[in-house]
Amino acid sequence: MLGRWFRRNGSNGAANGSLLNGRYRNGNSHLIELRDVVKTYHGTAGDFTALKDVDLRVDSGEFVAVVGKSGSGKSTLINMIAGIDRPTSGQVLVGDTMVHTLREGELAVWRGRNVGVIFQFFQLLPTLTVIENVMLPMDFCNVYSMGERQEQAMHLLEQVEMADHAHKLPSAVSGGQQQRVAIARALANDPPILAADEPTGNLDSKTAGAVFHLFERLVDGGKTILMVTHDQDLAKRATRTVMLSDGEMMEGYLARTFPSLTERQLIQATRNLKLQKYLPGSVIIQEGASPEKFYTITKGQIEVLVQASNGQEFVVTRMGSGQYFGEIELLQGGANMATIRAALDTGVEVAALDGETFTSLIIESEPTREEIVHVAQQRIMENRASRGR
What CATH superfamily is the domain 269-387? Jelly Rolls (2.60.120.10)
193 vs 218: CA distance, rounded Å:
10
Q: For the chain, which residues make up each domain, given as ranges? A: 2-246, 269-387
The predicted pLDDT at position 1 comes to: 34
Residue ranges in the chain modelled with pLDDT below 50: 1-15
Give per-residue pLDDT as tens, 43-95: 888 899 999 999 999 989 999 999 988 888 999 999 999 999 999 999 999 99
Amino acid at site 232: Q
Class (C level, CATH) for 2-246: alpha beta
The predicted pLDDT at position 108 comes to: 87
The predicted pLDDT at position 18 comes to: 67
Nearest CA-CA partner of 238 in 258, 260, 215: 215
Q: In what order do the strands lie in the sheet with 248-251?
A: 115-118, 193-197, 224-228, 63-68, 240-245, 248-251
The predicted pLDDT at position 376 comes to: 86
46 Cβ neighbours under 8 A, 6+ residues apart: none
295 Cβ neighbours under 8 A, 6+ residues apart: 284, 285, 324, 325, 326, 350, 351, 352, 353
The reply to whether domains 2-246 and 269-387 share a CATH topology is no
35 vs 21: CA distance, rounded Å:
21
